[in-house]
Amino acid sequence: MEDVERIYKQTGYTMTGNVIFYMSVAGMLVGTIGMLLSRNIIKKILSLGIVETSINTLYTGISSRRSIIPPIVNGDFSIAYADPVPQAVIITGIVISFALLCLSLVFAIIIYNKYHTMDIGTIESNFEREKE
Amino acid sequence: MIFLPVLGGIICLILKERRQLCAGLALLATIINGSFLPFYLFGKFDVSLGNWGELGIRLAMDDLAIPFILSTFLVMLAITLNSLRKNYDGFFYSLILIMYGTLNSIFLSRDLFNVFVTVELVSIISFILISYEKKGRQAWASLKYLLLSSLGLNFFLLGIGLVYMETGSFAMEGLNSVSSIASVLIFGGLAVKSGLFLFSMWLPDAHSNAPVEVSPILSGLVVKIDVYLSIRFVQYESFGWLKDEFVYIGIFSAIAGIIFAVNSKDAKRLLAYSTISQVGFMMVTCDKVSSWHGFSHAVFKTLLFLVAGNISTRLGTKKYKDWSGRITRIEYLFLLVGSLAISGFPLTSGCVTKEVIIHGACCPWLKVLMMLSSIGTAMVFSKFIFLKPSKEMGKLPIGTLLAYSILSITIMIHGIVGFKIYMSESFLMIMVGIGLYFLYRKFMRPLPVFFERIDNSLAVYLIMFLFSIGFVILST
């Protein structure tokens, strides 16, 4: 803990530095390119999950900029705690992304029962032919 | 105001099996909420929920939110009245009531994170509602919308994270001093759900395959979320580039939507493409006048979607060419009122708001292009005006008739109250549009739907996002 105190007094940031922000942006890029290039519905949904996880990492990084001590106060207000507001944000975000994942899998089941394939090329040509 | 419909929704969820009771409860909750409206609308309040002071959820009422809250009330009332005969079970009404409460809370919130949570909630409910009848087509349209919308809202969340890193709180006043990359992410994240042309190509499929009562909610209210948020964000300093960019994007999407709508054979797809065009029209001037155009667009689009939906369920086909000779005179009357309102006929509410936007345009070439898109709208909707009704009068169920007449009376009142003398030139534009329709009639056939496949729409959205980044870099 003395290292954390020393680095915080010198720079205002903890040891993780800016690496975590760059990694989360890289994770979002990987997820977006995965959504573009995959031909299976389940892989698209998994790539969306990668994007969501990177956002969670970003917010955890924001929250631990001041310190990495959990913000549970035992009566000692002098040491620096981690920031609790982004942690609240990210809990809501995790719940919402979980609900969206479940809903997208339900839609995948309905589509599979109707079109009997998970490949988007076949589904889209059937969809457009039905419309005429 | 917010909690009352949600409470009604939860009670409907408990009483799922008793269908009549749930329908009546939905109607009652909507009317009670509407009777609170005159007390709230003309005052201002600013409250912070919870006892945490600055970190609580902030709700405030302003001049800008008035037309949107009025439009949510009218649209929800019309939908509930229309669905009384159809015997939906209680789950549908509970979803609709929860959606009503959540939409109200979007238009009242002043806090960036509150915006994120409520927008995601509205999205989840609309995904469930689009595929309520569990058909394959609806599930595919809903899945497309789901994937694109979640990706966009993740970009929005990234932008909010950057705002928090730079200013230390989630309040909207923090947007004054934020770097431009965060504002591009916030704009790009919300643009997926708006109806602009290349950003949101999931829109024609989702709006045309949804059930009859759900399309008006999607096309009248969910699309306006982004209009409202953009008008609010443009007032802050770091979004100054957005006003210039919206001019180009808005006018492009207004004209492109009309080109697609002229060539389509399906009634509900035509209405969905015209939503794209009208949203482009609204975004050109991001001001208070476009929020009133949002109100009138919600009202007449609801009327058109309900009439087209009821006719297509009665006759069994969505292609409007098969309708001529088989629709009754009452339905034709309401279709006529709706089509004239959207084209801007001088005594209806569409004319009032459209002419104010056209007169407020900044440069002459913009005015010419907006008049061109008005002529295009008249051309598209003269397809509905020139259908031949059959000889019989026809009867409608009481709920449907009441819904149609409430919407039509609102259109007429808004048109008569706001009429000014320079609005007579819209009559000329309608005549030109009708003339062009008769000329072009032989050449219409459906355009290819290349941009609506899922990979292509995602790629086009990302290209437009990079284009916005380039625009920001060039203009600062």
pLDDT tier, A30 (very low <50, low <70, confident <90, very high otherwise): very high
Left, alpha or beta for A117 (phi > 0: left; psi -120 to 50: alpha)? beta
Delineate the domains of chain A, giving CATH numbers in brackets: 2-131 (1.10.287.3510)
* A68 CA: distance to closest CA in chain B (Å): 16
Of all residues in chain A, the one with the smallest CA distance to B159 is A55
The identity of residue A11, as a single letter, is T
- Please give the pLDDT value at position B288: 80
* A2 CA: distance to closest CA in chain B (Å): 25
Q: What is the ipTM of this complex?
A: 0.88
The closest alpha carbon to B290, from B223, B382, B378, B215, belongs to B223
B462–A85 CB contact, under 8 Å: no
Distance CA B171, CA B20 (A): 43
The closest alpha carbon to B74, from B217, B206, B194, belongs to B217
B117 close contact with A: CB closer than 8 A? yes
Q: Which residue has the higher pLDDT, A81 or A111?
A: A111
CB contacts of A58 in chain B (<8 Å) are 158, 161
Which of A62, A96, A107 lies at the smallest CB-CB distance from B164?
A: A62
Left, alpha or beta for A12 (phi > 0: left; psi -120 to 50: alpha)? left
pLDDT at A31 over 90: yes
Phi, psi of B171 (to 5 degrees): -70, 155
Q: Best of A96, A106, A122, A132 to disrupt the B interface by mutation (most B CBs within 10 Å)? A: A96
Three-state SS annotation for chain A: CHHHHHHHHHHCCCCCCCHHHHHHHHHHHHHHHHHHHCCEHHHHHHHHHHHHHHHHHHHHHHHCCCCCCCCCCCCCCCCCCCCHHHHHHHHHHHHHHHHHHHHHHHHHHHHHHHHCCCEHHHHHHHHHHHHC
pLDDT at A43 over 60: yes
Q: For residues A85 and A97, is the Cβ–Cβ distance under 8 A? A: no
Reading chain B (476 residues) residue by residue, the pLDDT tens digits are 667 777 777 777 777 666 777 777 777 777 777 777 776 666 666 666 665 666 667 777 777 788 888 888 888 888 888 887 777 777 888 888 888 888 888 888 888 888 899 999 999 999 999 988 888 888 999 999 999 999 999 999 999 888 888 887 777 777 777 788 888 888 888 888 888 888 888 888 888 888 888 888 888 888 888 888 888 888 887 777 888 888 888 888 888 888 888 888 888 888 999 999 989 888 888 778 888 888 888 888 888 898 888 888 888 777 877 777 777 788 888 888 888 888 877 777 777 778 778 777 777 888 888 888 888 888 888 888 777 777 777 777 777 888 888 888 888 888 777 776 666 677 777 787 777 877 777 676 666 677 778 888 888 888 888 888 888 888 77
CB contacts of B127 in chain A (<8 Å) are 103, 107
CB contacts of A84 in chain B (<8 Å) are none
The closest alpha carbon to B185, from A58, A84, A35, A44, belongs to A58
B150–A130 CB contact, under 8 Å: no
* A3 CA: distance to closest CA in chain B (Å): 24
Q: Best of A21, A87, A110, A130 to disrupt the B interface by mutation (most B CBs within 10 Å)? A: A110
- Please give the pLDDT value at position B42: 64
| B371-382: pLDDT as tens digits | 888 888 888 888
* A10 CA: distance to closest CA in chain B (Å): 19
The identity of residue B246, as a single letter, is F
Report percent pLDDT > 90 for chain A: 40
A82 close contact with B: CB closer than 8 A? no
- Please give the pLDDT value at position B46: 66
Structure tokens at A105: 């899998």
B462–A36 CB contact, under 8 Å: yes
Which of A62, A110, A124 lies at the smallest CB-CB distance from B139?
A: A110
Q: Sign of the CA dihedral B148, B150, B155, B159?
A: positive
Which of B124, B140, B462 lies at the smallest CB-CB distance from A111?
A: B140
| B2-46: pLDDT as tens digits | 677 777 777 777 776 667 777 777 777 777 777 777 766 666 666
pTM score of the predicted model: 0.88
- B74 C-beta neighbours (distance < 10 Å), count: 20
Which of B146, B157, B170 lies at the smallest CB-CB distance from A104?
A: B146
B128 close contact with A: CB closer than 8 A? yes
Of all residues in chain A, the one with the smallest CA distance to B144 is A104
Bridge partners for B171 per DSSP: B111
B165–A51 CB contact, under 8 Å: no
**Following DSSP, what letter does each residue of B119-185 receive, concatenated?**
HHHHHHHHHHHHTTT--HHHHHHHHHHHHHHHHHHHHHHHHHHHHHHHHSS-BGGGGGG--HHHHHH
The identity of residue B133, as a single letter, is E
CB contacts of B142 in chain A (<8 Å) are 107
A-B contacts at Cβ under 8 angstroms = 92
Give the pairing of strands B46-49 and B57-60. antiparallel
The identity of residue B176, as a single letter, is N
- The three-state secondary structure class of B254 is helix
* B158 CA: distance to closest CA in chain A (Å): 7
Distance CA B409, CA B78 (A): 12
Distance CA B183, CA B175 (A): 8
The closest alpha carbon to B335, from B292, B383, B374, B379, belongs to B383
Q: Which residue has the higher pLDDT, B200 or A66?
A: B200
Of all residues in chain B, the one with the smallest CA distance to A100 is B124
B143–A51 CB contact, under 8 Å: no
A107–B131 CB contact, under 8 Å: yes
B117–A128 CB contact, under 8 Å: no
CB contacts of B113 in chain A (<8 Å) are 89, 92
- Name the one residue in this structure whose structure tokens are 């155009």: B293
Distance CA A8, CA A2 (A): 10
pLDDT at A46 over 70: yes
- Name the one residue in this structure whose structure tokens are 């105001």: B1
CB contacts of A96 in chain B (<8 Å) are 117, 120, 124
Q: For residues B189 and B153, is the Cβ–Cβ distance under 8 A? A: yes
B164 close contact with A: CB closer than 8 A? yes
CB contacts of B455 in chain A (<8 Å) are 36, 120
Which of A45, A62, A131 lies at the smallest CB-CB distance from B161?
A: A62
A59 close contact with B: CB closer than 8 A? yes
- Please give the pLDDT value at position B45: 64
B162 close contact with A: CB closer than 8 A? no
B151–A85 CB contact, under 8 Å: no
